[in-house]
Chains A and B, each alone.
Chain A
């Protein structure tokens, strides 16, 4: 039973962290300029060449 409580506790922490990251990501509005973020690797290509 103690192990279960520990597992649930860890799971809740992980789930909470996931939700917090998701909310943070939404606040960054990166979903609104995904097209721009998708182009970032091209910048790296150009820098290397």
Chain B
């Protein structure tokens, strides 16, 4: 192991300003050097496992570990990962992986893999989010997968595949750039005085051959898309690019075959094609990379359940569940269909489907909703009261039917594209007509028309717009926001209203118990007893009490016999006194909610709150100050929604409670006029996410939600949402300015062409210069130091 090189967490007199694990900025209310519990846990794991080198290999900040990686997830899908070439002694598996993003991640995977006997070969593919491994039968596969998942990664069945379109695009980009550079060198010789002789003939013929090859290789990318657009009566960016390529090449071909070098623009055609391809590749690569960071969603096909058959547990696809099936629901498992509880008791959470934040204790015979979770630490059995076909999860997990539009087909670019095509054609025809009428020479008139077609360059759309998108997305990625859809920024620039779900979106999903005067005045013996009672229960309120008492360093009273009374709470006897922690009516004669009592006398009334995300208060306030209307749409009870709205400064009239998934969908359909951004996390938000103009999610633990949204958050903070809104505004300004620049350039270039002053050498200087200038201006405008990012 080489020398330890930790991420230099910036230390100030007030503590670190960046998280010691992910290196993202810390806010004032974050304590202990970490932005979240997950980062703290993974930091410890990496140190305990002597894997600190991860920090020196990682390039830039890491990803916060939003889910505390302590649970071992179900790997029942693993049997599908084995490839056909497996033998008895050697296994070959292909898996999808989520959360891998840099060399440091790859190194951690390889290092942990090689530590086990039976490890043969591991290939990690961060671009695609896949791992391929070869192991012998003695390799502890499940143990390794669980160990890796504890670092915050997630494995899934192999669903993602390499995008052959992007691969083919990369090949085209490489060849086109090589051709463009060669044609430029050959053309330079012609411009610098090579006017005759065998070398001249060869260079000229080679230039034409290479330029033709460039059109054959690069053209189809735009031609296919333009034809498809025209068929569906949409004039998007690929139409002017295609028109530009075809007409410029046709004009140059005419000049080549008629020997008129004054109209031979082969280098300009080649450079133009290479630049346009580069822009297109940039655009596709970024979106693919963001999509591949997460596991793919299988919809309902990805759900697995455990069915009891003649006393044996079998893992089956949830879609195979039939009425009357006996199901085993392990801790953390989903109840896939409506069912009846067949065990003595169960702690069940429905926050995923209703937004209800509190888990409930149920007793035998109680009804279980499809989509609820086992929130306890014991498995329970349930009898299915419906087939999976009638489960509401079918509708909620259905993939989005929204039509995705690429960035080059949106908004202003689309409008300009249509005018551009008409404008260029008009300028060319006008130039031809004017020169023909003035000189009577069709040849001279054709030269002018060719010059117009060549120099009227849509570089501003073709290269500068994708570059601007790439710069903005890179900045948002660094902040933890990943864009999935091509038209995201266009839609976001229209947003004036932001709608949040509550549980898991505005809140972290955890309960907190504030240090009330009652808790603070407990004696140390009583504090220790409360802590001991709380540690004996897996109920979320007990976990919150433990966290609240942690700073007081309470002692666990080990030899005591703590009894759990189902549905009521915990109790324990010490020195003749009976201590209880649980429901008010059971624990004491007074108090409400949850009570800690001694001999029936309430010692402290415990009021757990939902914990809002660290920056929820500041971000919502900032959004309000910037003129955005904030709404809260939750499935939770009215009192909790009202309390949260009050806490976060959202007007009560804009806080809607007890909203079912379809209520949310209808509300958005009625109120969203293309100006709403919806952020939600649960399955109960999936319909709303599809109905909203723009949607995002902080939920990465289950891929279906992110796959239905325009973006996802890889951080515990809400700040990137406001950053994205600023980015959309900045991007709109930059795109508009680039278009203005393009207009000015084209006006100048077309004027020169009309005046008969345009020459191939001048075009060879003007076109790349304008492209370089616009690329530089875009880069400077969207650099981190630019004021355009500020609100």
Contact = CB atoms under 8 A, between A and B. Distances in A.
Contacts of B406: none
B551 interface: no
A32 B174 CA distance: 16
Contacts of A19: 175, 178
A39 B110 contact: yes
Nearest to A3: B198
Interface in A1-49: 1, 4, 8, 15, 18-19, 22-23, 26, 29, 31-36, 38-39, 42, 45
B106 A36 contact: yes
B171 A4 contact: no
A44 B105 CA distance: 19
A24 B125 CA distance: 18
Contact of A35 (B126, B171, B182): B126
Given A18-B178, A19-B178, A29 B125 contact: yes
Given A29-B162, A39-B106, A42-B107, A8 B174 contact: no
User: Which secondary structure dominates where chain B touches chain A?
Assistant: helix
B103 A35 contact: yes
A36 B123 contact: yes
B171 A33 contact: no
B214 interface: no
A26 to B, nearest CB: 5
B623 interface: no
B124 A33 contact: yes
Interface residues of B, number: 26
B137 to A, nearest CB: 25
B57 interface: yes
Contacts of B41: none
Nearest to B109: A36
Contacts of B170: 26, 31
A26 B106 contact: no
Contact of A38 (B103, B162, B171, B174): B103
B202 interface: yes
B752 interface: no
Interface string B192-228: 0000001100100010000000000000000000000
Contact of A36 (B2, B124, B198): B124
A1 to B, nearest CB: 5
A38 B174 CA distance: 21
A29 B102 CA distance: 17
Contact of A39 (B103, B171, B199, B206): B103
A6 to B, nearest CB: 12
B339 interface: no
A33 B127 contact: yes
B167 A26 contact: yes
A36 B126 CA distance: 9
Contacts of B105: 35
B483 interface: no
A35 B167 contact: no
A29 B191 CA distance: 40
Contacts of B199: 4
Interface in B741-790: none
A36 to B, nearest CB: 5
Nearest to B103: A35
B262 to A, nearest CB: 25
Contacts of B107: 39, 42
Contacts of A15: 178, 182
B128 interface: yes
B175 A31 contact: no
B249 to A, nearest CB: 21
Contacts of A18: 178
B620 to A, nearest CB: 38
B202 A26 contact: no
Contacts of A1: 198
A33 B175 contact: no
Residue of A4, A15, A29, A36 with most partner-chain B CB within 10 A: A36
Contacts of A8: 202, 206
A43 B126 CA distance: 19
Contacts of A33: 106, 123-127
Contacts of B171: 22-23, 26
A21 B196 CA distance: 35
A4 to B, nearest CB: 6
A19 to B, nearest CB: 6
Contacts of B102: 35
B788 to A, nearest CB: 32
B214 to A, nearest CB: 13
A18 B202 CA distance: 21
Contacts of A22: 171, 174-175
B56 to A, nearest CB: 11
Interface of A: 1, 4, 8, 15, 18-19, 22-23, 26, 29, 31-36, 38-39, 42, 45
Given A1-B198, A31-B170, A35-B103, 14 more contacts: A4-B199, A18-B178, A19-B175, A26-B167, A26-B170, A29-B125, A32-B125, A32-B126, A33-B124, A33-B127, A34-B127, A35-B124, A36-B124, A39-B103
5 contacts: A8-B202, A26-B171, A32-B128, A35-B106, A39-B103
Nearest first, the 8 A-B pairs at minimum CB distance are A32-B127, A35-B103, A33-B125, A35-B106, A1-B198, A32-B125, A36-B106, A35-B126
